[in-house]
């Protein structure tokens, strides 16, 4: 498949923003305007629920929602299916004492998803280092009604994990800059300059690209290790929209071998906690422990009706690991 052919196989995905209303309310509104619960590929007005992600709807690729009242009022969010996986896997608690970090937040689709899963309760720190993208993030969170969020215009790597403000943090989402090699053409309009620090759509493996991917992988590993330093963090989700093992399985393997994860402090969450029903798992040949592949989720553009994507989840093993540091 070329890019356009692959794009035609991807439905228009719409996530209902449950901060602003229920799934049923959104469906009623759509049905009242002529949409029909049916196969989204067989008719222009057909739509259906997604099989893996709650509150996600599938529409015909030919439908646009830019001017739809549900979209302009923040009640729906246009978000690819695979990019809904990280917040679902992180599964932050929805209680008043929850404290969660989204370390790389703009434009904020995953932040608003986390906020919805937290029932807009507790506290959700959303870091974004880029000034312009930070403005987009704040606008997006206001539009989505996510009042439990605290957007912070700072480099996550410069935050002090021992800052008392962050001691209650138990869940961290890490969706850092990557090569973007999994992004299919039709979704390019969702990207903004700067989203990917070193360009997009690297599909060949020239030495120049190897170097570029190695640099990204080094940065991605630093981000995971930094997240592991938060004293009470229990669960860290690391995701990319890259199809390259260099940024995915190999980064995860190196994180597991790092000092931060050593002595069994962190391991990968079992498949039962990481979208167990999703068939495409990590590439075992790229891991020191091939058995870890079952813990990892992959999406392939053109095969899975999504963009190319990767999701992993680290969990703390030793409850008292923090006292050793
Ligand atoms: N999670 C976002 C979403 O779903 O809407 C997309 C995140 S995008 C792939 C990565 C973002 O991380 C970019 O906006 C980039 O500016 C930001 N970023 C990269 N390194 C960062 C760092 N060290 N601290 C904070 N933000 C960072």
- 122-148 pLDDT, tens digit each: 999 999 999 999 999 999 999 999 999
Residue 2's pLDDT band (cuts 50, 70, 90): low
| pLDDT for the residue 219 | 98
Decide whether any atom of ligand 1 lies within 6 Å of the 171 Cβ.
Answer: no
pLDDT (mean) for 49-76 = 96
Nearest CA among 6, 20, 15, 36 for reference residue 73: 20
Residue 262's pLDDT band (cuts 50, 70, 90): confident
| pLDDT for the residue 63 | 93
ipTM of the complex, rounded to two decimals: 0.99
Q: State which fold the 84-324 domain adopts.
A: Rossmann fold (3.40.50)
CB 59 within 8 A of CB 16: no
Q: Given the structure tokens 């993208």, which residue do they identify? A: 133
Bridge-based pairing state of the strands 309-316 and 297-299: antiparallel
How far from 299 is each of 85, 107, 306, 307, 315, CA to CA, in Å?
A: 10, 21, 7, 7, 22
Q: How far apart are CA 32 and CA 210, in angstroms?
A: 52
Handedness of CA 56, 60, 64, 70 (dihedral sign): negative
Nearest CA among 294, 249, 301 for reference residue 274: 294
CB 235 within 8 A of CB 314: yes
Decide whether any atom of ligand 1 lies within 6 Å of the 80 Cβ.
Answer: no
Q: Kindly list the domain boundaries of the chain, sorted by start residue.
A: 3-78, 84-324
What does the block give as tokens for 8? 């035609």
Residue nearest to atom 16 of ligand 1 (CA): 130
Strand (E) or helix (H) holding 75: none
Decide whether any atom of ligand 1 lies within 6 Å of the 307 Cβ.
Answer: no
CATH class of 3-78: alpha beta
Q: Which residues are catalytic?
A: 241
Q: Given the structure tokens 């991807």, which residue do they identify? A: 10
Residue nearest to atom 11 of ligand 1 (CA): 104
Nearest CA among 140, 137, 225, 212 for reference residue 180: 212
* pLDDT exceeds cutoff 60 at 192: no
């Amino acid at each position: 498949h070329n890019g356009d052919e692959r794009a035609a196989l991807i439905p228009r995905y719409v996530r209902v923003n449950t901060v602003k209303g229920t799934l049923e309310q959104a469906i009623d509104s759509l049905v009242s305007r002529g949409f029909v619960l049916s196969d989204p590929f067989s008719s222009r007005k057909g739509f259906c629920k997604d099989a893996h992600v709650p509150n996600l709807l599938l529409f015909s690729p030919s439908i646009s929602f830019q001017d739809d009242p549900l979209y302009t009022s923040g009640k729906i969010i246009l978000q690819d299916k695979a990019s809904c996986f990280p917040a679902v896997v992180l599964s932050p608690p929805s209680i008043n004492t929850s404290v969660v970090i989204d370390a790389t937040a703009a434009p904020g689709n995953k932040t608003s998803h986390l906020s919805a899963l937290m029932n807009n309760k507790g506290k959700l720190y959303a870091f974004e280092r880029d000034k312009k993208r930070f403005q987009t993030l704040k606008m997006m969170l206001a539009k989505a009604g996510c009042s439990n969020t605290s957007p912070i215009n700072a480099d996550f790597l410069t935050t002090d994990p021992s800052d008392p403000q962050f001691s209650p943090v138990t869940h961290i989402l890490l969706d850092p800059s990557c090569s973007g090699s999994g992004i299919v053409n039709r979704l390019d309009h969702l990207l903004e300059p700067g989203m990917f620090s070193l360009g997009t759509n690297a599909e060949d493996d020239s030495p120049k690209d190897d170097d570029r991917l190695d640099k990204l992988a080094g940065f991605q590993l630093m981000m995971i290790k930094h997240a592991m330093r938060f004293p009470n963090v229990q669960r860290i989700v690391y995701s990319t929209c890259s199809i390259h093992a260099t940024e995915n399985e190999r980064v995860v393997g190196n994180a597991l071998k790092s000092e931060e994860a050593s002595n069994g402090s962190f391991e990968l969450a079992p498949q039962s906690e990481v979208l167990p029903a999703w068939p495409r798992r990590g590439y075992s040949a790229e891991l020191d422990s091939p058995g870890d592949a079952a813990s990892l989720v992959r999406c392939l553009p053109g095969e899975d009706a999504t963009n190319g994507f990767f999701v992993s989840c680290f969990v703390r093993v030793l409850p008292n690991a923090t006292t050793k540091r």
